[in-house]
């Protein structure tokens, strides 16, 4: 049987995504140390970029479930010395039960998945970050209930996080206003795939009006460090501040996948303020990915 991969949120149906969110909430609130559905199973985690949350949440999740996780940095494996992805995928998947990859090119993950005999999970590429969306959506549901029909505002780069928010809008049927500088818009095909739920603005103020959730991310993502100065200039009118939150619905929440740069994409007042749920969302990476691992591996 072909393994079930999680490379994009769109690998799930709306119903499956909702069931993973609900299961994550149950796993969080009723933790039973004797529940070890992945006893003896191994997750290989390949990191070609840095991580705090993704690594810790997957490793802890596997331990809670009675399994274990292997941290594989490309610096220390033959992948970093140019062993073909196809060969690496065949070999690694012959010995473990699941593979998580964080890398640059999205094609690295899709190629790996094509040649893997076990499920492959996208732990972030330059194009998508679906695991973060499981946690963000779980957090919204916990605080405010169903997100269907609500308005979410994405502020900043049309990047991996923004693309996964577009996919979430599609599956969970919410409106997504995207506020980005000219030249930093999200991928047109991904925008079009979600229909008229998505609106792209070049004004933060217009995009933030009456929003139920404001979300932002760093101005320069991993791999774009040398563009930092240029991006500081391009994004200077796209900082989430108290004035931005005042334009949104009064019960609006604030999220950021972290790590954050206070004073750049968000002020301290907002990220450390009462509307911010960033640390709850960070913790939910653990619960949401446990629900994902159970979904992919316990069929
Ligand atoms: N949000 C997120 O993916 O964090 P890490 O880069 O620390 O894994
Ligand atoms: N857009 C950011 C997300 C980090 C979790 C990056 O790719 O670096």
pLDDT value at residue 299: 74
Asked if 114 and 164 sit in the same domain, the reply is: no
Asked if 120 and 246 sit in the same domain, the reply is: no
CATH of the domain at 98: 3.40.50.1370
> Which tokens is 288 given?
């949401």
- CA-CA distance, 6 to 21, in Å (whole number)? 15
Asked if 120 and 154 sit in the same domain, the reply is: no
Question: How deeply is 299 buried, as exposed, middle or buried, from its count of CB atoms within 10 A (0-12, 13-18, 19+)?
Answer: exposed
- CA-CA distance, 34 to 210, in Å (whole number)? 45
Asked if 168 and 212 sit in the same domain, the reply is: yes
Mutate to test the pocket of ligand 1, among 257, 279, 280, 286 (most ligand atoms within 8 A of CB): 257
What digits encode the pLDDT tens for the residues 29-45?
A: 999 999 999 999 999 99
What digits encode the pLDDT tens for the residues 103-146?
A: 999 999 999 999 999 999 999 999 999 999 999 999 999 999 99
Q: Which domain holds residue 123?
A: 9-129+285-297
Ligand 2 centroid distance, CA of 220 (Å): 8
Asked if 174 and 48 sit in the same domain, the reply is: no
> Which tokens is 191 given?
């925008």
Question: How deeply is 154 buried, as exposed, middle or buried, from its count of CB atoms within 10 A (0-12, 13-18, 19+)?
Answer: buried
Low-confidence ranges of the chain (pLDDT < 70): none
Residue tagged active-site, from 132, 138, 239, 289: 132
How many independent structural domains does the chain possess?
2
Asked if 220 and 204 sit in the same domain, the reply is: yes
pLDDT value at residue 75: 85
pLDDT value at residue 201: 98
The answer to the question of residue 2 being in a domain is: no
Asked if 93 and 48 sit in the same domain, the reply is: yes
Mutate to test the pocket of ligand 2, among 257, 265, 266 (most ligand atoms within 8 A of CB): 257
């Amino acid at each position: 049987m072909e393994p079930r991969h999680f490379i994009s949120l769109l690998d799930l149906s709306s119903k499956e995504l909702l069931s993973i969110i609900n299961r994550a909430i149950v796993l969080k609130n009723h933790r039973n140390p004797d529940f070890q559905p992945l006893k003896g199973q191994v997750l290989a985690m390949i990191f070609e970029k840095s991580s705090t949350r993704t690594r810790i949440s997957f490793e802890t999740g596997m331990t809670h479930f009675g399994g274990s996780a292997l941290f594989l940095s490309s610096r220390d494996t033959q992948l970093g010395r140019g062993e073909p992805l196809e060969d690496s995928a065949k070999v690694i998947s012959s010995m473990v039960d699941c593979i998580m990859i964080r890398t640059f090119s999205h094609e690295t993950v899709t190629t790996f998945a094509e040649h893997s005999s076990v499920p492959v999970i996208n732990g972030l590429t330059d194009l998508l970050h679906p695991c973060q969306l499981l946690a963000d959506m779980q957090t919204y549901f916990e605080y405010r209930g169903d997100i269907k029909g609500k308005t979410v505002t994405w502020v900043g780069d049309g990047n991996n996080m923004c693309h996964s928010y577009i996919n979430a809008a599609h599956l969970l049927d919410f409106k997504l206003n995207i506020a980005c500088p000219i030249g930093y818009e999200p991928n047109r095909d991904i925008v079009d795939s979600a229909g008229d739920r998505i609106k792209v603005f070049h004004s933060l103020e217009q995009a933030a009006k009456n929003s139920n959730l404001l979300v932002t991310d760093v101005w320069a993502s991993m791999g774009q460090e040398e563009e930092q100065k240029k991006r500081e200039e391009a994004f200077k009118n796209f900082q989430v501040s108290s004035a931005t939150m005042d334009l949104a619905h009064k019960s609006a929440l604030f999220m950021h996948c972290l790590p954050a740069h206070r004073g750049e994409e968000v002020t301290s007042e907002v990220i450390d303020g009462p509307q911010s749920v960033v640390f709850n969302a960070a913790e939910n990476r653990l619960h949401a990915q446990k629900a994902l691992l159970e979904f992919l591996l316990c069929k």
